Amino acid sequence: MAKRKRNNPATDANGSGEKRMSHTTITFTSHRPEWAYIHLELVTQPSEPSTEFLDLLTARTYLTSALSQFLGLSGTAIPIDILKLQTEELPTVTASAKRKIRNMLWIRVPHDDAAAVIAAVSSWVGGGGVAVAWKIRGKGSWLGALVGGTGRELFL
């Protein structure tokens, strides 16, 4: 009885056993995202460095104030989710120097409202004892891309 050699699709057609490369095309369709993510930093006047830690209630008040000043009542209706508030004390040069605080905020807003939120927040200057303002550190449609690729840093 004669043995027949079966053709393996991964080998060459002449049966020599050489592997041929097969290429697979993978497609990915990215629809318009529902949310936009914004990374903010609260900054103070250079002559008066920030010495207070920002809390969630104050951050929400500052954001609402910026939206209401720029867009009126419709601005306060924009939903804003605060994802993370990060405060850290920066090293000082001398022991007698005032401590410096960096206040960072990560927020999520509807994608359609992102441009209005950025315009309102970046043009706002708060009053009180020390003038404060928001600095836009980054904006993106995908949180992972905004924080450096993995997104892990956001929730540490």
The predicted pLDDT at position 136 comes to 93
Q: If residue 6 lies in a helix (H) or strand (E), which one and from where to where?
A: none
What pTM was computed for the model? 0.71
Nearest to 124 by CA among 56, 49, 40: 40
The predicted pLDDT at position 8 comes to 55
Q: Residue 27: beta bridge partners?
A: none
- Chain position carrying tokens 């002449």: 14
The predicted pLDDT at position 117 comes to 97
Contact indicator for 78, 109 with CB cutoff of 8 Å: yes
Domains of the chain (ranges; CATH) run 39-147 (3.30.70.3250)
Per-residue pLDDT of the chain (156 residues; tens, 9 = 90+): 566 655 555 555 555 556 667 788 887 777 888 999 999 999 987 666 666 788 999 999 999 999 999 999 999 999 999 999 998 887 777 766 677 888 999 999 999 999 999 999 999 998 666 788 999 999 988 887 777 655 555 555
The predicted pLDDT at position 83 comes to 94
The predicted pLDDT at position 19 comes to 63
Nearest to 101 by CA among 85, 113, 112, 117: 85
